[in-house]
Amino acid sequence: MFTDLFYLLRSRGVPVTPTEWLAFLEGIEKGLADGRPRELYLLGRALLVKREAHLDRYDLAFYDYLKGAQAPEDLKAQLLRALARQAFSSWLTPEDLERLDELTYTELLQLLEQRIGKGERPGAGEGALEGPARTGEGKKGGREDGEQGTRAAMADAERRRFRNLRSDVTLDVRQLTLALRRLRRLLRDGIPDELDLDGTIEKTCKNGGDIELAWRPERRNTIHLSLLCDVGGSMEPFRHLAERLFSAASKAGKFKRYRTYYFHNCIYGRLYRDIARRDGPRTEDMLRESANDERLIVVGDACMAPFELFQPAGGLEYWSPDEPPGIDTLGRVRKKLPRSVWLNPLPRHAWDHPTIAAIGGIFPMLELTLDGVDEAVTVLRKGLAYRR
């Protein structure tokens, strides 16, 4: 039962695990869905969807499944049986309700067409399933309750109320914070100022019952993170998105050291803490002060005039006659900080500009979406070789 739904969810990109699927089936067996399609939809959404980004995929998969595109006969029979119970429970005897389990899908369909489609009201007592019927105005009557069952579940899925949480849309601060929090690496380092309960018990036992306290250093995040962001010009439409990223990074996990700098179009000989005041360190000084395992995130659309990237002294905001081409500076940054990524707020289909292609050949370039940030965090954590 429901095996096709499992494979449909997986094919839609909802990573349902066997453990979660068994919990879903156990919930159905215990009656948590209450025999109602809408409750089945809600139960599956609660147990099978782990991330907000997958809610939209779940809605689409469930809608297709409930329409019957992927539904086997036994599922259709179960849904129709649930509709019949809801429609006729006020008028059928317990014995007649039990007899619904013996009817096939075709017989159930004919029964519903007879009782609901033709507007007949079911009789009571013996022979109620065979006698003439007509919908009434009971508490759980006929057509209206049928719509609240299968149709309500299909309407919930079809509305796709979570479409704005898909993984191909830009992010809010909370989503960015949760993604960047995966960068944390907690190690015990420093002064032993935290009580070690297990160690205390062990030492006390070895000491014949006399309490002897054991201490250990607190677990702290040992990751160094630098965030460089392109500002002004073509990045102005993405200003609020960049501000969210900066806010999320500052909240993500109390990094051992967290630095933020700005640049315009390309990284040249100087970075800025305040680009309006031209206040900031030279790029070489920033690289020299970087830790060996420093993580670097560069945010920018990588779109500029070709001479700004390929020609010496091509910088507009930072101009020096002896300045090497920006592409060379980017290469030095990447060599010094190999655990680095470039997040591009432009959609991937707009990456056909020559400067974007050139920078994408130096840094792993990913979209600034939930999937893109997740993949960027994976690259930064493991230091994996990346190919576009």
The residues facing 262 across adjacent strands are 229, 272
For residue 139, pLDDT beyond 50: no
- 184 within a domain of the structure (yes/no): no
Query: Same domain, yes or no, for 289 and 200?
Result: no
On whether the pTM is more than 0.85, the answer is: no
Query: Same domain, yes or no, for 25 and 124?
Result: yes
| CA proximity to 225, closest of 334, 332, 298 | 298
Query: Same domain, yes or no, for 69 and 198?
Result: no
**Better-predicted residue by pLDDT, 19 or 124:** 19
Query: Same domain, yes or no, for 59 and 156?
Result: yes
Angle between helices 55-67 and 152-159 (to 10 degrees): 140
Give CA angle at 52 (156, 179), nearest 5°: 170
Once rounded to an integer, what is the mean pLDDT over residues 164-184? 60
Query: Same domain, yes or no, for 285 and 215?
Result: no
For residue 150, pLDDT beyond 80: no
Q: What pLDDT shows up at residue 141?
A: 38
Say if CB 245 and CB 299 are below 8 A apart: yes
- CATH of residue 337's domain is 3.40.50.2300
| Alpha carbon 294 to its chain's center | 26
- 311 within a domain of the structure (yes/no): yes
Query: Same domain, yes or no, for 103 and 161?
Result: yes
Which residue's structure tokens are 């869905």?
A: 33
Cα of first residue to Cα of last residue in the chain, in angstroms, is 41
Query: Same domain, yes or no, for 238 and 97?
Result: no
- 298 within a domain of the structure (yes/no): yes
DSSP letter for each residue of 5-74: HHHHHHHTT----HHHHHHHHHHHHTTTTTT-HHHHHHHHHHHH--SGGGHHHHHHHHHHHHHTSS--HH
Query: Same domain, yes or no, for 30 and 102?
Result: yes
For residue 116, pLDDT beyond 90: no
Query: Same domain, yes or no, for 205 and 239?
Result: no
The β-bridge relationship of strands 215-216 and 194-195 is: antiparallel
Structural domain range at position 45: 1-165
- 279 within a domain of the structure (yes/no): yes
- 176 within a domain of the structure (yes/no): no
Tens of pLDDT, residues 37-87 = 778 888 888 888 887 778 778 888 887 776 654 445 666 677 667 767 766
Q: What pLDDT shows up at residue 326?
A: 92
Query: Same domain, yes or no, for 212 and 236?
Result: no
- 172 within a domain of the structure (yes/no): no
- 107 within a domain of the structure (yes/no): yes
Say what percent of the chain tops pLDDT 90: 20
- 21 within a domain of the structure (yes/no): yes
Given 179, 199, 220, which residue is the final one in a domain? 220
Query: Same domain, yes or no, for 146 and 238?
Result: no
Q: What pLDDT shows up at residue 76?
A: 65
Tens of pLDDT, residues 259-306 = 889 998 899 988 988 877 778 899 999 999 998 888 999 999 999 999
Query: Same domain, yes or no, for 204 and 242?
Result: no
Token duo for residue 313: 């002294």
Total domain count, the chain: 3
